[in-house]
Structure 1
Amino acid sequence: MGDLALIFAFALGPALCVGAAGALTLRLLRERSVTVHIVTLLVVTVTAMVAAVAMVADQMFLSPHDRNVVLITVAAAALVSLTVGWLFGRRLAAAAVWADQARQRERQIEQGRRDLVAWVSHDLRTPLAGLRAMAEALEDRVVNDPASVSEYHRRIRVETDRMTRLVDDLFELSRINAGALRLTLSAVPLGDVVSDAVASAAPLAAACRVRLLAPDSGWPTVLASEPELARVVGNLLLNAVRYTPSEGTVRVEAGADTDCAWLAVADTCGGIPEEDLPRVFEVAFRGERARTPCPSTGGPASAGEPTSSGGLGLAIVRGLVEAHGGRVQVRNTTGGCRFEVRLPLPGTA
């Protein structure tokens, strides 16, 4: 029993030294990846075992040949252990990172759902309250002169249209997220789509005293579904007009590169905070007070979305553009920002 205790003591000494060095190494590497930690832990474990075996073999006064046999055997086992540990360690590290990213993504999605419900509830509650108040006033004949009754009817129609747009946005977004969006792609003249969108946005631009500028020619033809493309251009234009101050300018431009066509909507809104730029296409994201909304839209200013959209307009733009196989991005320019959409050319799909 005494001999076994002595052997244990001889093996424990170098193993503790290696373990202490390994603990210090792991502490120094605490900012590195999971794979590095796993490999370091394996190296420390195997090295401690080799050191203990080498120490015991030396103290047992084995012949050089026998000692080499023991060390070679231990080295072979250590090599196999390190190789297997490294391979499975990388897989384990990748799984751990993937699981962490999945949890973060799930939390972000859940937070997005909560934000969406909050924004939509707010944007529905406000017009519904107004509609109820106006309906009760008409029903109780609190308002009975023809001019006021006509104005109440007009405001009821406006609020109804607003809620209809919001419900349409929700339906469109649900189709995008569910993968139920089916596009019928064809060669679409971009100039025709922009012309219709500019005509639709012109009344709002006039009310906000914003200049809408678009060239008469030079528009490329893109491979797209015309209704969805019209919605993309319309959302970008309305978003730009609503957040461009009075006497500002919204400019629409387009062109074609070798592999794709591009459409840009630039405004003089004053820009979006740099920290908000990566998030302007997120569902229900409205950011901080960064851009000045047109007074006719009402509500507070917020980066990236018109106040009546429930924070869905730019999210729909991104979803529709990506469904076309394109991409959309935004960047700040001098005195404003620029949204740029890139779409495939006919014959490139």
Structure 2
Amino acid sequence: MTDFLVIVALAAGGAALVGLPAALAVRALRRRSVALSLFAVAALAVAAMAAGTVAVAQAMFLSGHDLGVVMAVVAVSGTVSLAAALLFGRRIAAGSRELARAARTVGSEGGFLAPTEPPTAELAALSRALEETSARLAQARERERALDASRRELIAGISHDLRTPLAGLRAMAEALEDGVAEDTARYHARMRTEVDRLAAMVDDLFELSRIQAGALALSFSRVSVYDLVDDALAGAGPLARASGVRLVDGGVVPLPVRVDAQQMTRVLGNLLVNAIRATPADGTVAVSARQEAGRVVLSVEDGCGGIPPEDLPRVFDTGWRGGSARTPRSDGAGGAGLGLAIVRGIVEAHQGRATVHNAGAGCRFEIVLPAAPAAGRAQGEPATG
């Protein structure tokens, strides 16, 4: 037992004598190439093993031949180990350089060009992470481009919509000022109409800015969709009669929802006004409500003739107006393409979603809302948007 402990002590002493300086060298090289660092670590292991082996062999008083054999084995094993470490280190270094070159393509127009075969699992995981990051950046860039295009379209539309009533107001004001207006009461009524139109446009812009800034404050209460639809129909009734459009009941089930009643009435009102203006005279606009998979679905179906499939994904974009059926008319009806964007913003603030698809002779707008919890249960309110 004593001889065994002596051998262990000699091996440990020889390994420590060579290993400590080698460990300091490895620490000094920690910021250098990964190939050099791996070679240094392998050299540390080989040197420590060789020193311990030689110390023990000499202490065992081996013959010169046996000692030479031991030294040869140690030398060959160490050389092979160092060569393998060097080759593997160079491979990892090459893979790291290739990944570094590929990382420079993150966020580029062409996207991330991942290396074919990363040499280690860690580099492969890093490559996948960079690929996912590049995809997210590409998506963000596309969203930014779409938003920028939508913003330019909105500004152009708002500028056009503001120019027409402002020009009319200026002409009527000049006519009144010069005393050439024959029917001043008609001029005043027309000026009031144009001012109301401008005020509504400004209100829509302000509401949309609050929605996009996440500053829309909601006051939730438990209401029936029957009451929401009834209020919206009452508000849209005069416009429907003036346009010769019939509002029909498509089947409204009195389901409970927990919403901001005022904002949700505005959503339905916007959809109804949009549907009425898009539907020709003698057409119909149907309103319905149903329960589907634990959620409440409100639908407004018009007779607009349908929306081109390529325009369907843009219907709720800010400033979208679509074809002539949904373009503001010369009589001042219509808006700046903000109504449907406001609809989507308010619905999403209620943790719902707004969709549209062609159906029958027109299109159907659907608002999907969470159903209200059963009475008496703890009710958590959706986060405001």
Structure 1 residues 92 and 65: alpha-carbon distance in aligned structure 2, compared to 1, 3 A threshold: same
Q: Indicate which of 143, 147, 154 corresponds to 2:181.
A: 143
Q: Indicate which of 110, 119, 122 corresponds to 1:81.
A: 119
Q: Indicate which of 312, 316, 323 corresponds to 2:338.
A: 312
Q: Indicate which of 138, 141, 154 corresponds to 1:100.
A: 138
Instruction: Quote the residue 1:30 is aligned against.
Output: none
* Gap runs ≥5 in structure 1: 1-63, 301-305
* Gap runs ≥5 in structure 2: 1-75, 93-117, 374-378, 381-385
Q: Indicate which of 131, 147, 156 corresponds to 1:118.
A: 156
Instruction: Quote the residue 1:338 is aligned against.
Output: 364
Aligned 8 A contact 2:301 2:362 in 1: yes
Q: Indicate which of 167, 186, 194 corresponds to 1:129.
A: 167
Mapping of residues 62-81 of structure 1, within 5 Å? 73=85, 76-77=88-89, 78=91, 81=119
Instruction: Quote the residue 2:213 is aligned against.
Output: 178
Aligned 8 A contact 1:166 1:308 in 2: no
Aligned 8 A contact 2:251 2:288 in 1: no
In the TM superposition, residue 283 of structure 1 has moved relative to its aligned partner by 0.3
Instruction: Quote the residue 2:109 is aligned against.
Output: none
Instruction: Quote the residue 1:5 is aligned against.
Output: none
TM-score (ref. length: structure 1): 0.72
In the TM superposition, residue 103 of structure 1 has moved relative to its aligned partner by 2.3
Q: Aligned pair 1:222/2:252, yes or no?
A: no
Instruction: Quote the residue 1:298 is aligned against.
Output: 329
Q: Indicate which of 240, 243, 252 corresponds to 2:275.
A: 240
Task: Give the whole-Å Cα distance in 2 for the aligned partners of 1:247 and 1:222.
Answer: 33
Which of structures 1 and 2 has the larger relative contact order (alpha carbons within 8 angstroms, sep 6+)?
A: 1
Task: Give the whole-Å Cα distance in 2 for the aligned partners of 1:95 and 1:342.
Answer: 32
Q: Aligned pair 1:328/2:354, yes or no?
A: yes
Aligned 8 A contact 1:193 1:230 in 2: yes
Instruction: Quote the residue 1:34 is aligned against.
Output: none
Aligned 8 A contact 2:251 2:289 in 1: no
Q: Indicate which of 199, 204, 209 corresponds to 2:244.
A: 209
In the TM superposition, residue 246 of structure 1 has moved relative to its aligned partner by 1.2
Aligned 8 A contact 1:185 1:224 in 2: yes
In the TM superposition, residue 95 of structure 1 has moved relative to its aligned partner by 2.2
Aligned 8 A contact 2:277 2:334 in 1: no
Q: Deviations over 1:214-264 (max 9, x none)?
A: 268632221100111011000000000000011111000012234211110
Task: Give the whole-Å Cα distance in 2 for the aligned partners of 1:283 and 1:127.
Answer: 21
Residue 237 of structure 1 aligns to which amino acid in structure 2?
Answer: L
Q: Aligned pair 1:90/2:116, yes or no?
A: no
Instruction: Quote the residue 2:306 is aligned against.
Output: 271
Residue correspondences, number:
274
TM-align CA RMSD: 2.6
SS at match of 1:241: helix
Q: Deviations over 1:29-57 (max 9, x none)?
A: xxxxxxxxxxxxxxxxxxxxxxxxxxxxx
In the TM superposition, residue 110 of structure 1 has moved relative to its aligned partner by 2.0
Q: Indicate which of 213, 228, 233 corresponds to 1:198.
A: 233
